Structure 1
Amino acid sequence: MNRAQPKQFREQIRILERKLGLLKKNNGSCCAAVLTLAQCHAVVEIGRINSISLKDLAVILAIDISTTSRTVDGLVKKGYVQRTPSLEDRRSVDISLTESGMVIFETIESNNDTFFADIFDNIPNEEKMNVLHALDVILAAFDQES
């Protein structure tokens, strides 16, 4: 392995991360006027699953449960999320989106679908499968580190 390759990989990931961070400014994908970035991520994950425990949401978001709880509390106060006692575990609550939370979720998803379709269209057709495969490999490598 070339010693410069890990550094080049790091730099490319750093640049990609910075460009992805611009999403919230450029396309309103996280409804920045309404939600924090953490709340945006929570809404997306709750919306994709429909109902989830606080503990499972914390695992998906890769943040501690107290931070997840504060994030969800903010969403409850805004009327986007509701907590209901779990049918499986009396000590647990399930979190789901309210009707207005679903509107926010659908807006985020629609904006992101459009944004990423536009980016993907800029990739040459003969490279699209290679890009998707490379991202799978990178994600698997991250999973091995965890």
Structure 2
Amino acid sequence: METRDVISFISKIREKVNRFLVAEMTKRGIEGIATSHGDIIYALANHSRLTMAEISKVIHKDKSTVTALVDKLVRLGYVTKERDREDTRVVYVALTPKGIELQPMFESISEELLEQFYNNITDKEKEDLLTILKKIHSNF
């Protein structure tokens, strides 16, 4: 293996993680949601409501992408959108009861993913991996 293969491995790991997440959601009857929708649901589970701009910042996606993702979640009945009464340019997003029901399933899927991801990896190796990935991330 050459050191230049690392980027290819990262890409392949990302693909496998996404496939794992989609398969696990399908097993639990959650369909029509992509992993980026899960990012929004997770963010809203940790806050009672967020503006579109806040969601954009939390999940590191541009506002137009967040708008499209949120609109689909609204159509599926997982979130609601509400305009601020004083500033109608501001839109708040919150989970519906249907969206709240996803939280325990997402937690379970996350635990299973992390268990598989870190299988045969020591705590020291986990720490080293995170340190290295943070350094690489900061290079961009």
Question: Fold conserved (TM > 0.5)?
Answer: yes
Report what 1:52 is aligned to: 50
Aligned residue identity for 1:13 = I
Please, which moves more after superposition, 119-128 or 48-57?
Answer: 119-128
Aligned residue identity for 1:116 = L
Deviation (angstroms), 1:87: 6.4
Deviation (angstroms), 1:22: 1.9
- Secondary structure of 2:80's aligned partner: strand
Question: In the superposition, relative to structure 1, how do residues 50 and 14 fare at CA in structure 2: closer, same or farther (>3 Å)?
Answer: farther
Report what 1:42 is aligned to: 40
- Secondary structure of 1:34's aligned partner: coil
TM-score (norm 1): 0.72
Aligned-partner Cα distance in 2 for 1:51–1:108: 18
Superposition pairs of residues 78-117 of structure 1, within 5 angstroms: 78-86=76-84, 89-117=87-115
Deviation (angstroms), 1:101: 0.8
Aligned-partner Cα distance in 1 for 2:16–2:117: 13
Report what 1:26 is aligned to: 20
- How many residue pairs match? The answer is 135
Segments of structure 1 that go 5 or more residues without pairing to the other structure are none
Report what 1:73 is aligned to: 71
Aligned-partner Cα distance in 2 for 1:60–1:118: 26
- Secondary structure of 1:22's aligned partner: helix
Measured against aligned partners, the alpha-carbon deviations of 1:52-99 in whole angstroms (never above 9, x if no partner) come to 111222233333323321211111111100112336744312111111
2:136 to 130, 138, 144: 138
Aligned residue identity for 1:46 = L
Report what 1:12 is aligned to: 6
Structural RMSD (CA): 2.8
Aligned-partner Cα distance in 1 for 2:120–2:68: 39
Aligned-partner Cα distance in 2 for 1:77–1:106: 21
Measured against aligned partners, the alpha-carbon deviations of 1:93-125 in whole angstroms (never above 9, x if no partner) come to 211111111222332232112221332242134
Indicate the percent of aligned positions where both proteins have the same amino acid. Answer: 20
Aligned-partner Cα distance in 2 for 1:62–1:133: 20
Please, which moves more after superposition, 96-105 or 128-137?
Answer: 128-137
